[in-house]
Homo-oligomer: A and B are copies of this chain.
């Protein structure tokens, strides 16, 4: 490995002079040239660890997401990376696999690596580790979820409202019985979506049997299993709201496996929208979250905080967008047979 010391030797100058040349500080032109040539010929690669130790050089940022195979998060991450890369930050990413203990470990690793800021989709709505970071004024931005009892920069959508809006949409289409397949209630997003669902049901005067309300873990498998459970009810709702992209895939798969037709036999509406949602059977009506904007805002929030850490934390609530396709009956009232047999 070549160091500025080697360069200095080859160029016949002192070490600090090399440093000055490489940092574009004022140095005699002839020396500058010699140093540049030496650096070139030795394939010099600057050592960021050394720079970071000195407290200079490109900052390192960290991203910890609960599920890096969930396209929703990777979209956010991609735009976050775009947002911060204009400033030449390096980005350390990791996957907490929705495990709080792994998350804590990863935070520790990132701190040891010397990140100057973090963006996270945390696994729990409270974490002493994160609380500590905040108390020590460590720059951190939370996406998708809100933390409980913590003042911290946050970028999310209004999950309550979005969920209520979805139910309202079902109501407008004539649905009067609706089920809910939700995420882990200890996450604010899951909780808000559930509360919004209840609110929507109430406002629209719809009915929801308690057996139609099921909570999973935001993963596809639980979407599948919970749908199985739901479909085993004697009476079925005419429509269900599924709380995220992964679960709705499981849910759809189960519904198709059972040979039920959407929306004829059951309607479905979900959170999160992707290009392939259009080509599902049927095209899926969904609440699209602005992943691009979430990522970009998170990046700018974090970069702002890196330069000025005195501002009070902000919570940005972005607009979600109901994308109406064909999985809820295309505006027609569809009541399936089973539901008609329902007593109340």
CA distance A48 to B110 in the complex (A): 9
CA distance A256 to B278 in the complex (A): 9
Interfacial residues, chain A to chain B (CB-CB below 8 A): 45-50, 52-53, 58, 60, 68-69, 71, 74-75, 77-78, 81, 90-95, 108-109, 111-114, 220, 249-250, 252-253, 256, 275-276, 278-283
CA distance A50 to B68 in the complex (A): 29
A69-B74, A252-B276, A281-B281 are known; give 15 further A-B pairs, CB within 8 A: A48-B113, A48-B114, A49-B49, A49-B50, A49-B52, A50-B53, A60-B113, A68-B81, A69-B75, A69-B78, A81-B95, A90-B109, A91-B92, A92-B92, A249-B276
Chain B residue numbers with a CB within 8 Å of A60 are: 113
Evaluate whether A90 and B90 lie within 8 angstroms (CB atoms) in the complex, with A47-B114, A112-B46 already known.
Answer: no
The closest CB in chain B to the CB of A94 belongs to B91
Chain B residue numbers with a CB within 8 Å of A52 are: 49
B91 in contact with A93 (CB, 8 Å): yes
CA distance A280 to B113 in the complex (A): 43
CA distance A250 to B276 in the complex (A): 8
Chain B residue numbers with a CB within 8 Å of A253 are: 275, 278-279
The closest CB in chain B to the CB of A77 belongs to B68
CA distance A109 to B85 in the complex (A): 12
CA distance A331 to B50 in the complex (A): 63
The closest CB in chain B to the CB of A57 belongs to B112
**Closest beta carbon of chain B to A233's beta carbon, Å:** 21
A45 in contact with B111 (CB, 8 Å): yes
